[in-house]
Amino acid sequence: MSRRQITGFSNPTVKALRALRDKKHRKAAGKFLAEGLRLLTDARESGHLPEVLVMAEERDPHPLLAALEADVLAAGGEVIETTADILSKITGKDNAQAVCGVFAEFDTGLAALDRSKAKIWLVAQALRDPGNLGTMLRTGDAVGAGGLILIDDCADPFSAETVRASMGAIFTQQVAQARWEDFLPWLRGDAGQLVAASLRDAVPYRGAPYAAPCFIMVGNESRGLPEDYELACDLRVTMPMKGRADSLNAAVAGAVLAYEVLVALGG
């Protein structure tokens, strides 16, 4: 166990932590940041402890923070106390939370997924917006999904914005990353229904013949899904579009479908 204080902006640890805001450095280090007592408590209660816990010296005492600190030290992690200014520098936010943690990135290989664990899985293809990605993780948690599978070039699931938008679901949902040409054979290697909202040869989303494990796929924010991805689906469904637009926000479409599938598969 280890515990220390840092007061200098140019301290190499501060630089290393700050660099985790950048995707390239996150990949190289295999680590990511999560901010705020609520998020860190969600992580802890889901069995994830930070390797490094960084706390503001001027923080208000809180039993959950004390518990977190004790657990991190007991697990051999490091606890750093620093100034509010340095915390702001690390997180890049003017009003930084009084605490942040550094976590090891999770294994995001498809092989780590056990599809029998849940009736619903969410799939996103080339989803570029970290807020949408975090929102999908949060929705997945709400509907009891097993996790989120990111196809092709999606936003980084470990960015601060995704982690924040997930409201802790980054710690409860499994995340996998795969190219389409690897995902499809994996999917077909066992039972699994691939479903997408589509305008091509589709049935109404309400009352469609959903089957578990059901993989609900949404596409890129601007372009939607490529045609061949849609055609590879086992079930294409349409949702009512009463206005001018012919599509919903990707995270919204995924959520409306996910709640429909949840009901269809018996809650």
Q: Which residues bind a second copy (CB under 8 A)?
A: 42, 45-46, 131, 135, 138-144, 165, 167-169, 172, 206, 239-245, 247-249, 251-252, 255-256, 259, 262-263, 267
Q: Whole-number minimum distance, CB 36 to a second copy, in Å?
A: 11
Pick between residue 55 and residue 143 the one whose CB is nearest to a second copy.
143
Alpha helices in 3-104 (DSSP H): 12-19, 23-29, 37-45, 63-74, 84-91
The DSSP code sequence of 75-135 is TT-EEEEE-HHHHHHHHT-TT--SEEEEEEPPP--GGG--GGG-SEEEEEES---HHHHHH
Which residue lies nearer to a second copy by CB, 144 or 209? Answer: 144
Q: How far is the CB of 244 from a second copy (least distance, A)?
A: 5
Q: Which is nearer to a second copy, 104 or 263 (CB)?
A: 263
Residue 248 C-beta: closest distance to a second copy, Å: 6
Among 33, 13, 14, 15, which Cα is nearest to 23's?
A: 33
The type of residue at 133 is: L
Q: Which is nearer to a second copy, 61 or 243 (CB)?
A: 243
With 0-12 / 13-18 / 19 or more C-beta atoms within 10 angstroms meaning exposed / middle / buried, residue 226 is middle
CB of 191 to a second copy, least distance (A): 21
